[in-house]
């Protein structure tokens, strides 16, 4: 009579499940890519620069991060409080087109009312966690 004995190769077992090409790493990579796609959908599209700056990248064999690399992304994501804006140098007023009055204006300072938070990264992450986590 033939007998079958399973003797696991621990090194190969670890590589298949936890290595950079293993099943766990592949699953986490898919979640990171899905989270990236959702974040790009959720990001404001005024100039598209923020959307294009959202990228996934591996940080370890089974770890990924999704980040927005635009310099201003934290201000969009977290929002801002009301604040004063002043020119960079003395004697140089701020100049900008003000749609409300329909012309170019110049001021020595302006009071910005702040912006509401637009959590384009955390909302998609929460959505993906609900999708891939079974309780």
Q: Alpha-carbon distance 50 to 27, whole Å?
A: 26
Residue 25: predicted pLDDT = 83
Reported as a pLDDT band with limits 50, 70 and 90, residue 2 is low
DSSP letter at 66 equals E
Q: Residue 33: how many CB atoms within 10 A of its CB?
A: 13
Q: According to the model, what pLDDT value does residue 60 have?
A: 83
Give the pLDDT confidence of 14-59 residue by residue, as tens digits.
Answer: 777 767 777 888 888 999 999 999 999 999 999 999 999 999 999 8
Please give the average per-residue pLDDT across 96-100, as a whole number.
93
Average pLDDT of the chain?
A: 88
Cα diameter, the chain: 97
pLDDT band at 100 (very low <50, low <70, confident <90, very high): very high
Show Cβ contacts of residue 68 under 8 Å, excluding neighbours closer than 6 positions.
Answer: 39, 43, 50, 53, 54, 77, 120, 121
Give the mean model confidence (pLDDT) for residues 76-92: 92
Residue 33 CA to chain centroid, in angstroms? 11
């Amino acid at each position: 009579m033939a007998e079958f004995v399973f003797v696991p190769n621990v090194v190969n077992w670890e590589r298949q499940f936890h290595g950079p090409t293993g099943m766990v790493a592949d699953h986490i990579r898919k979640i990171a890519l899905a989270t990236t796609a959702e974040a790009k959908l959720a990001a404001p599209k005024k100039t598209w620069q923020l959307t294009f700056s959202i990228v996934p990248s591996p940080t370890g064999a089974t770890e990924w991060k999704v980040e927005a690399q635009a310099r201003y992304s934290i201000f969009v994501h977290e929002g801002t409080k009301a604040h004063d804006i002043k020119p960079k140098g003395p004697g140089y007023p701020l100049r900008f087109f003000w749609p409300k009055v329909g012309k170019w204006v110049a001021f020595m300072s302006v009071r910005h009312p702040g912006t509401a938070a637009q959590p384009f990264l955390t909302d998609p992450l929460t959505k993906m966690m609900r999708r891939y986590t079974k309780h």
